[in-house]
Amino acid sequence: MATVLVGRHYPDCFNTPRRPQAHIIVRGRIPAPFGRFWRSADNVGFWNPFGVFDLVHTFNKIPLWTNKPWMVTFESILPRTLGPKQEIMRDILRERLLSPQCKGIIAISNYAIRRTTAYLAGWDRLPELLSMIEMIPPNIQPAERVAEYSGGPLKVIFIGNHFARKGGIVALRMARLAQAAGLPIHFHLVSSMEYGAGIYTDCRDPNAYDADLEALTLENVTLHGRLSNTAVLELIAASHFVLLPTLHDTYGYSLLEGMSLGVPSLATATAAIPEFVKDGENGFLLPLENDATGDWIELSHPPLQWDILDRTYDALAEAALERLNRVLHEPKLWKSLSEGALHHIRAHHDAEIIGARLEKKYSAALDSARRLS
């Protein structure tokens, strides 16, 4: 039994063992202090090199100053370097990934592997790096069925602090359409309402969203603001769909949380989402035109103009409401989707199964480190 240092933030919980059996998991802060001086160094991990642990498992972060064995799980590109002169840090960190101390590289999706392959295209050591990558999806504990639906009003929950990017504007337009059509659907929005300039999927003029934000006062809309994860899970359990009509997301953990409670997903078919949301089986997918990697095609033409965003919000709202209207007229469909959601979690994301798989990798990494010492 060894001691493994992992992060303590929200994504770390999905990508490390939740209930370890073979090793001691220590959840601690793995800071990246250099990012405040240079954005491209934002995912260079740093911690006390004399800490009492045998292995480090990071999320996105790559350590430079430690001789301890380490592993990294990543969600999009690796190395995750952004900002001015990012190629300098990229070239340093990609070599670090091939060092003897790196004992494992885990992608949370096939989408992440595609993005990294495209990001590092032309690097002569790319095949070597790709041979080290294993895809292990995020894990969560499946629950007994909590949500129920036998007809009548639908409760839909949207979760996302980046309000426009995650699909909050789409949710508000759905609320307007539902009210106009007399459809019994209530929208619960959990968000700190960040939008506009500085968010890569948003219109730079925040005033462009003013007309949509007036819908926050509608009777079929409740804005909850920022909530604790415990409170969010309680809201999800009382809902019938988790709504994520996002323009870009590396995964979509809120969808997994919903599925683990038997709550189907209603999300855009982009990035990694189609890898676990299966249209008509455990939720509904909304069409979005993607490039070969899986990203919305318009992301390659920044900055995004309001006319493009406006048309996209409208199309997604209409498509999403059509799916909900289908369920209102056919309540048995919801039960099928709910059962499909739980089945998918148990088959592909079960915390016990994924946790054991991760701990097996820890053991192999430690054995390899001992042989080299």
Domains of the chain: 3-139+351-372 (no CATH), 154-348 (3.40.50.2000)
**H-run or E-run covering 135:** strand 133-135
Which comes out higher in pLDDT, residue 248 or 61? 248
pTM for this prediction: 0.94
Using DSSP's 3-state secondary structure scheme, residue 164 falls into: helix
pLDDT bin (cut points 50, 70, 90) of residue 169 is very high
Beta partners for 244?
267
pLDDT of 82 higher than 80: no
Q: For tokens 């148990």, what's the residue? A: 346
φ, ψ of residue 303 to 5 degrees: the values are -80, 150
pLDDT digits (tens, 9 = 90+) for 127-155: 999 999 999 999 999 987 777 898 999 99
